[in-house]
Amino acid sequence: MRRLWLIGLLVASTQLFAARILTVTPSTVQAGQAVTIKYKNAPAGAEIGVYTTTSRVPLKKRMNVQSGMPSAGYKDTIPEGEYIIRCQTDSAVLDSVKLVVLPTAWEGETRIGLLADIHVMAPELLIAEGSAYTKDVMQNRKMLHLSHAVWEALVDSMIAEQPDYLLIAGDLTKDGEYVSHERVVSGLQRLDSAGIQTFVIPGNHDIDNTAAYAYNGSKRETVISCSEIDFRELYAPYGYDTTCFEVDSMSLSYVAQLTDSLMLIGIDTYDGTLDTRTLRWITDHADTIAAHHLHAIAMMHHQAVNHFSEQNVYVSASQVENNDSVAYVLATHGVHLLMTGHLHISDITKDYPGLLLVDSLCEIATGSPIVFPCHYRLLSYTDSTSTLKVQTRLLRAVDTIADLQTYACRWSEDKIQTIIPTLTERLWQRLEPVLSTLGSTRMFKRFYELLPKTKAERTQMVNAYLERPLTDTYLTHCEAAEDRFFTDDLKSSIYAGVDSMTQSILDKGDFASWQQTILLTGVRGAVRAAVGAPLTSILTDESNYLTLRSVHVPDHVFLFELPEIVPPKIVVPDTTHIDPQVPDTTIHDALDYQAPMEYNGTCYDMLGRPVTQPVQGGVYILGNKKILK
């Protein structure tokens, strides 16, 4: 009996070995290393694709098995992450192997962690589970119930990575609850103890938020919300005290020094706007920084440029008010790198807000770590070359969930309904004028009358025909670097869904076949005109699609070289005919700006070391005043 069992095991093992189609060499690599994927004995017509562990969309580099070629292979570099390589036909997966691509090592002199939209919800806000908590938290596309655990895991990750600085681009809390801010500060104190200096700015959820609730069964109970004064006090060591060069008196904006040549401008847009006085304060400091041959980079919660075509139409709330003007002012005053959040999507793009397409603004948007795929970023800056390298990391686990990636992906799939109604209404706003114009004929009027009339009816119709391709598009957009994925099928499936949806409406009316053909063609053209540019822009990761400012920038790993500093030209006005009794702040500002620094006695660098005469660019303390050299 034992012999038969051993023979059976041997036969099964032989069959299993013979069934192996794919090999990957090596199976674990560093990012940037070439990977060789080979197949053998695969049936003709099968396809070999590389997938992230959570995606249904393969990377673009695919192989189709051809008859007469029993063995082949290709080499390619694959970004950091965990992958599944599959050999499959239309009906079945024939074989699969796992590939792990490890992140590259840190580079550069100064290391910077970058987070956005951590949305920490203090655990004590959940007094008792019930309908109120389910509605606000468990039906939200953000994994708010895990936010505190994610924050603690992020702090642990940063302590392990040991950056010199951590930047957090707003939305620190669920909805501005004071106790949630205290939880954030507790984590920042842990980072302090590990020698990591943090700088934060507020987001639209963080201050004077009327949705600051605790949850007690079926009831929401209002709790204390953080005010501007509270925020300044709570985060004093993280942007609002002597760690900074200067704090704006009119907002929660500030200027801080990161390296000998790199200055950070934290920009407060928590209410979605940027006051003209604060913008002037920012540009004055940006000009001063450039005049002293230092680089300025900025951090702001809201975005300033379009990351995909017509973003300002479909998700206008993601951008700061008058975003075009803000982008133009920043770029033309020497701020060429802006770090943002708010949209919960990791995307890097470059725009040219100036009329002559000369002054560029690169915007690094970082996704929320409580939204699939739980991104955070690591930056390394080299003073000598003024280059900044961006790397993107995935948070893979928290205390209670070992596979956070799969959990987060399923959570996003389940909660896609939270965004489809809004997108449906935005699309309808674009389509309705076109469709009503088509309705000028009797045939089109009849079709127009059959269209759903309410928001709920329109959402139901979109769900019936487009939920799957829209979900896949959204998840692919969340993963970022969409151009890495084979997205042609996604675009085709969306247009096919629109055709089916249109046909379902035509089937309700008594239309002749020629009428159906005309109507279907007209609606198809209207929809593609309305969504063609933004959809293509998203699926190809190309911003400003079909414009002179069209550009593609990698989203995961990116090397940015700060442009050469061009000091502003300051014209000192003639003061010989100015009444000395009438102060003119503009004139005095200009004169102060041009005046060389004088050092009478000992001053100190930012580490408190005495310096008789500053010999390099940087921030120094003379008396009780900070000065730029």
Closest CA to 563 of 416, 386, 389: 386
Nearest alpha carbon to residue 222 among 232, 231, 209 = 209
Q: Which of 186-195, 452-461, 481-490 has the highest mean pLDDT?
A: 186-195
Q: Is 255 left (phi over 0), alpha (psi -120 to 50) or beta?
A: beta
The helix/strand count (H/E) of the chain reads as: 15, 28
Q: What is the pLDDT of residue 611?
A: 54
Cα gap 258→382, rounded to integer Å: 12
**pLDDT at residue 7 in the model:** 40
CA distances from 368 to 140, 427, 431 (A): 13, 25, 31
The mean pLDDT of 392-417, rounded to a whole number, is 94
Question: To which residue do tokens 């300044």 refer?
Answer: 232
Confidence class for position 605, pLDDT limits 50, 70, 90? low
Whole-number pLDDT of residue 370: 98
CA distances from 260 to 210, 231, 264, 265, 629 (A): 42, 28, 12, 15, 10
Q: Which of 598-605's residues contact partners 24+ apart within 8 Å by CB, and which partners?
A: 603/627
CA–CA dist 261, 384 (Å, integer): 9
Q: How many residues are listed for the chain in this entry?
A: 629
Amino acid letter for position 268: D
Tokens of 355: 């009329």
559 phi and psi angles, rounded to 5 deg: -110, 120
Split at pLDDT 50, 70, 90, the class of 620 is low
pLDDT at residue 323 in the model: 92
Long-range contacts of 185-191 (CB under 8 A, 24+ apart): 185/234, 185/235, 187/120, 187/151, 187/152, 187/154, 187/155, 188/235, 188/237, 188/238, 190/155, 190/159, 191/155, 191/158, 191/159, 191/166
In the chain, what percentage of residues exceed pLDDT 70? 84
| Interval 330-355 mean pLDDT | 92
Q: In what order do the strands lie in the sheet with 558-561?
A: 197-201, 165-169, 110-115, 375-382, 387-394, 558-561
pLDDT(63) > 90: no
CA separation for the pair 444, 46 (Å, rounded): 45
pLDDT tens digit string along 103-149? 888 888 899 999 999 999 999 999 999 999 999 999 999 999 999 99
pLDDT of residue 70: 65
User: Is there a contact between 101 and 29 (Cβ–Cβ < 8 Å)?
Assistant: yes
Three-state DSSP class for residue 375:
strand
pLDDT at 440: 61
87 contacts 22 by C-beta, under 8 angstroms:
yes
Is the predicted pLDDT of residue 326 greater than 90, yes or no? yes
CA dist 526 and 419 (Å) reads: 22
End-to-end CA distance of the chain: give it in Å, rounded: 88
- pLDDT per residue over 229-275, tens digit each? 999 999 999 999 977 789 999 999 999 999 999 999 999 999 999 98
Hey, which bits of 31-179 come out as E strands? 34-40, 47-52, 63-64, 71-77, 81-88, 93-102, 110-115, 126-128, 165-169
Domain spanning 21-102, CATH architecture = Sandwich (2.60)
Ranges of each domain in the chain? 21-102, 110-409, 416-559, 585-628
Which structure tokens are listed for 397? 């686990």
Q: Return d(Cα 417, Cα 463) in angstroms, integer.
A: 9
Angle between helices 147-161 and 178-193 (to 10 degrees): 20
Q: What is the pLDDT of residues 544-582, one digit of tens each?
A: 888 888 899 999 999 999 988 877 764 444 433 334 333
- Identify the pLDDT of residue 39: 84
**Computed from CA positions of residues 592, 598, 603, 606, in that sequence, does the dihedral angle turn out positive or negative?**
positive
Q: Which residues contact 533 (CB under 8 A, 6 or more apart)?
A: 309, 310, 545, 546
Q: At what angle do helices 442-450 and 488-506 cross, to 10 degrees?
A: 100
More confident residue, 344 or 71: 344
In this structure, CATH architecture of domain 110-409: 4-Layer Sandwich (3.60)
